[in-house]
Structure 1
Amino acid sequence: MVIHMLQLLEDTRKLSMFTAYNTNVDAIVYLKGEMIQKLIDEFGAEAVRRRMEEYPREIREPLDFVARLVHALKTGKPMAVPLVNEELQSWFDSHFNYDVERMGGQAGIIANLLANLGFRKVIIYTPHLAKRQAEMFVRKPNLFYPVVEDGKLVLRHPWEAYREGDPVKVNRIFEFRAGTTFKLGDERIVVPFSGRFIVSARFESIRIYTEEKLKPFLPEIGLMSDGAILSGYQGIKLRYSDGKDANHYLREAKKDILLLKREKDVKVHLEFASIQNRTLRKKVIYNLFPLVDSVGMDEAEIAYVLSALGYEKLAERIFTYNRIEDTVLGGKILIDEMNLELLQVHTIYYIMYIAHADNPLSEDELRESLELATTLAAARASLGEIRSQEDFRVGLSVPYNKRGEYVKLRFEEAKRRLRTKEYKLVIIPTRLVQNPVSTVGLGDTISAGAFTSYLAMLKRKEHPRG
């Protein structure tokens, strides 16, 4: 199996990939008790307590942040709260020294991963490329950013293509540890669990689109690429102050996909992320899913999608019981209603492919693709980052999770109980790292590894050796 995996990785690295749209800077702070105390003292315990009771859903002023942070620390639950006031960025920068700054956003994480693995060509596009963002990209000669010069498409390295004055999206991540103590007035608080509090930037200036001058060159980019991985649509707002709305940006997104596919049928994968607003979620699903070939998501996201499509009871069952049988049923509905070629669902304990029975790859080949994906993610979890194709071998020594046999058993039961003749269904347990160096980007790594190895095997079918 090891030789098989290494050979598949070699074939996969021969691909050229296009990825867009969302990148950001993840600025990480490791919280200490005295830092939290200083924030409470700045605003006063009583004011913080009052604001905690109000439970602000967005961060519009510093007190909103402190109140939601203390609430997260008190419960020990990981949380993400949107920052909607762009002017507050300077307040955060003056109050915190960031311990780590790294690439964030699905498109950025995937571009760096594929470039480090040594793919033939990786073209990354993000509509905003400030210098601070450009410096987050790895300095590899196979990584390019598309620019238009003298009416022609030119590929530059991202660190040569940045634009002064472009906005930068910074997500601030406050990592907290169990046992951290501080006082809220007379109340002594001990953080019960380790976790993270994310202040996610949701500014009007950050949008998901392709610049008008680049749009006509998308067919050319499609010709250069074996596949495209698109993400970031969760960043679209329903309405903007300039009169534009989600419909405008989704119409443009549809045009982009059709332009990429105009000169050749380049396979497009959409990496889905949770969209809290049901109306927006529905718009993204109905507008974009029917145009792409492949979609990747986790089990919570499949429940969100099914809920938006009107399958409330099934969505509720997935949320409540998390049974493989319900996820398989939901996946069947999704590939039929949206006419997808491939659906990939990743969870902590298993990864699954659902395809129609006429998919050109066999179930064994689909299984091999998922094996590569979980091995890649295990290497990333073990090392924190994949810096070369040699790092892949680290993932091969990570064992499958302890629930592996149970997962296989439940999957076989589900296949017996559900009508599956018209489908190819494949599931594998994940390789699980006990003490990961980092968990950021593991879902993106699985999706990128699965989709690119799927493409590599399709190419093998089209051009068999010899």
Structure 2
Amino acid sequence: MSFTKLKAQWLEHYKTAPDQLNKMGEINGLISAFNANVDAVIKVNGKGIEKIIADNSLNTKLILGEGENSITSNEDAIRGFLNCFKNGIAEEWLIEDVDVFEWLNKNVGYDKMQMGGQGGIVANVMAVCGVNSVFVHCASAPKDQAKLFLDLPNLLTTDQNGDIKQASKVDRSSDLALIHWIIEFDKGDSIQLNGETFVCPKANRFIATYDPLNFKLHIDKNFANRMAQNDVNPEYIILSGYQMLHEKLQDGSKGADRIDESKKIIEKWRESCPNSFLHLEVASTQDKLIRKHLMDSLVEKVDSLGFNERELIDILEVIGEEKLAIKCEENTNSSNLFEGMLKIYEYTKCSRMQLHMFGLYLTLQTKNCKVSPIQNRNGMQLAATVAAAKAGTGSLDQKEVLLWAKDHQVSEVGLQELSDLQKTATTYFGENQLLETGLCSNDQFDLIAVPTILIEKPVTLVGMGDTISSVSLVGAR
């Protein structure tokens, strides 16, 4: 079948999106934890970065050199940016020195402030999609943070007294605002450095983060206690924020201990709602020991995992699949990544895993998963529609915007990836109609794959993965 006919067929599949969005209004409660912060967003160009390097007499050898994926110097900040720019990838590096934080504030600045942190972004998306009660955890909730939550009565957090209030109206004035830099760049832009020219292959962003509370997965006691009360009863709990942990924290404690402490809190939340669906958004976890502990400890409790290409490769690196990780990195395509998902399942036995990659979303789930394959496909299609609206309009602050892209066709990039995946899936599942229907299965697994809508010149890509994972999961009704 030609791509033209396939696009028409997938446009028919996507017509379920409005109904799926309406079904999200049937969900009574959802907890989004743990990280919410303020994002300082700026779009830069190559010439601007060249000027910052020159004006500050930065050491270009350090910028072009190898090193840890963390920021302890001004050169590290530019090195991280250049790494993302020249490869067209998204990464988050942590700032470990307050002087670098102040230098970025002075030399890079920001164009706007917006909601940041997976927990905060997911909460806003879930609320505007109509979930009845969205409870969002905030390590810090001063006015600068609270005003970034949508002004919606169904979006809630705890105030300084532990009472549930509309999140946008809370002002825990003694808390400090937690600010992250989101430095965006465009496809086709270039940077000249030491006689070399680096051309950006894909629009993306680099995140530089200074956040002492979320660095240690600080959990607000008022929120933790209130969510354990019997009147909350969330149907979904979406976890994130673990990526900022390190093996050893600045206060001398261990990152693994913070993970284990969060497990105890989550168990208390689930006592009144044992059938709640628990999802972990993996995110870019730089510390390998933390990454490994998440796979060995927290994942055994979750029902679902969400990750992008880079995060999947990172997981493979710590579960004894280094060769496959290298294979996926050298050739990052749907077939190799699917094989990576199979290996992650062998290690974790997680009943549902979702990959969001460029042009394609892919879910692998076991037969005992709580969500059916067709429900999953419908949720993924809604997620693709909502994500395209975010990319095309720059904001999901009103329900009317969510279906902005509902009549857009799926991308040829996605169809090509799906076509290649179908050939690989035949090895594991036999002959199938994956390209035409997005569905195939065997006795153990269901595989669901959806080609996505791509926006040629996105207004923003911030929070795209979080939006995709949460809407795919909660929109699968």
Question: Residue 463 of structure 1 corresponds to which residue in structure 2?
Answer: none
1:357 alignment partner in structure 2: 367
- Give 2:112's aligned amino acid: V
Query: Aligned-pair distance for 1:385?
Result: 1.4
CA–CA separation in structure 1 for the residues paired with 2:344 and 2:210 = 29
Offset at residue 398 of structure 1 (A): 1.7
Partner of 2:145: 133
Counterpart pick for 1:319 among 325, 329, 351? 329
2:59 maps to which residue? 48
User: Residue 319 of structure 2 aligns with which residue?
Assistant: 309
CA RMSD of aligned residues (A): 3.2
Stretch deviating more after TM superposition (132-141 or 54-63): 54-63
Instruction: Please list every run of 5 or more consecutive structure 2 residues that lacks an aligned counterpart in the other structure.
Output: 1-11, 430-441
Does 2:428 match 1:418?
Answer: yes
Q: Which amino acid aligns with 2:183?
A: F
Matched, 1:429 2:421: no
One-letter identity of the residue aligned with 2:448: V
Aligned twin of 1:443: 465
Relative to the length of structure 2, the TM-score reads 0.83
Deviations 1:36-66 (A, max 9, x none): 576445444xx53454466665444546546
Which aligned pairs between 1:263-274 and structure 2 lie closer than 5 A? 263-265=272-274, 266-274=276-284
Offset of 1:360 from its aligned partner?
5.1
Q: Which residue of 1 aligns with 2:17?
A: 5
Q: Where does residue 278 of structure 1 map in the other structure?
A: 288
Amino acid at match of 1:127: A
| Paired AA for residue 316 in structure 2 | L
What are the ranges of 5 or more consecutive residues in structure 1 without an aligned counterpart? 458-466
Spell out the pairing of 1:248-267 with structure 2 (5 A cutoff).
248-265=257-274, 266-267=276-277
Alignment match, 1:247: 256
> What is the DSSP-based 3-state SS (H/G/I as helix, E as strand, rest coil) of the residue aligned with 1:395?
coil
- Matched residue SS, 1:234: helix
**Residue among 215, 218, 243 paired with 2:227:** 218
What is the distance in 2 between the residues matched to 1:82 and 1:217?
Answer: 31
- Aligned partner of 1:82 among 68, 86, 94: 94
- The alignment partner of 1:263 has SS state of coil
Identity, % of aligned positions: 23
Aligned counterparts of 1:213 and 1:197: Cα–Cα separation in 2: 34
Residues 306-342 of structure 1: CA deviation (Å, up to 9, x unaligned): 2211122332222223343443333234335423231
Deviates more, 1:246-255 or 1:302-311: 302-311
Cα gap change, 1:224/1:146 in structure 2, threshold over 3 Å: closer, same or farther?
farther
Counterpart of 1:99 (choices 111, 114, 120) is 111
Matched, 1:232 2:241: yes
Q: Would the alpha carbon gap of residues 278 and 147 (structure 1) be closer, same or farther in structure 2, given more than 3 Å must change?
A: same
How many angstroms apart in 2 are the aligned matches of 1:349 and 1:261?
35
Distance in 1, matches of 2:427 and 2:281, equals 29
CA contact (8 A) 1:398 1:433 kept: no
Aligned residues: 447
- The residue type equivalent to 1:424 in the other structure is D
Structure 1 pair 180–208 and aligned structure 2 pair: CA distance change class (3 A): same
After TM superposition, give the deviation of residue 222 of structure 1 in Å.
Answer: 8.0
Residue in 2 that maps onto 1:154: 163
What's the counterpart of residue 200 of structure 1? 208
1:127 aligned counterpart, secondary structure: coil
1:69-106 per-residue CA deviation (whole Å, 9 max, x = no partner) reads: 6x669958667543211244344334454212111211
User: Contact conserved, 2:351 with 2:368, CA < 8 A, in 1?
Assistant: no
- Do the aligned partners of residues 35 and 376 (structure 1) sit closer, same or farther apart at CA in structure 2, a change above 3 Å counting? closer
The alpha carbon displacement at 1:437 in A equals 1.8
Q: Following TM superposition, by how much is the alpha carbon of 1:396 offset from its aligned partner in structure 2, in angstroms?
A: 1.0
Q: Which has the larger radius of gyration?
A: 1
**Matches of 1:406 and 1:104 in 2, distance apart?**
33
Question: Is 2:26 the counterpart of 1:17?
Answer: no
Higher mean Cα deviation, 56-65 or 424-433?
56-65
> Could you tell me whether the CA contact under 8 Å between 1:303 and 1:315 is conserved in 2?
yes
2:301 to 272, 291, 298: 291
**Match 1:399 to one of 409, 412, 437:** 409
> In the alignment, is the contact (CA less than 8 A) between 1:86 and 1:203 conserved in 2?
no
Offset, 1:35: 5.5
Secondary structure of the corresponding residue to residue 403 of structure 1: helix
CA distance in structure 2 between the partners assigned to 1:174 and 1:93 by the alignment: 12
Q: What are the within-5 Å matches in structure 2 for residues 161-200 of structure 1?
A: 161-176=170-185, 192-193=199-200, 198=206, 200=208
Cα distance change of structure 1 residues 188 and 336 upon mapping to structure 2, 3 Å threshold: closer
Shift of 1:289: 0.7
Give the direction of change, closer, same or farther, for the CA distance of 1:406–1:369 in structure 2 (3 Å limit).
Answer: same
Amino acid at match of 1:198: F
- Contact 2:391 2:461 survives alignment (8 Å): yes
Give deviations 1:417-464, integer Å, cap 9, x for gaps: 11532111111111222222222222111111111023xx2xxxxxxx
Three-state SS of the structure 2 residue aligned to 1:279 is helix
Moved more, 223-232 or 409-418: 409-418
Deviation at 1:181, TM superposition (A): 8.9
Q: Any idea what SS the aligned residue of 1:280 has?
A: helix
1:166 partner letter? D
Q: Distance in 2 between matches of 1:277 and 1:358?
A: 32
- In structure 2, the CA distance between the partners of 1:164 and 1:56, relative to structure 1 (3 Å rule), is farther
Cα drift, residue 128 of structure 1? 2.0
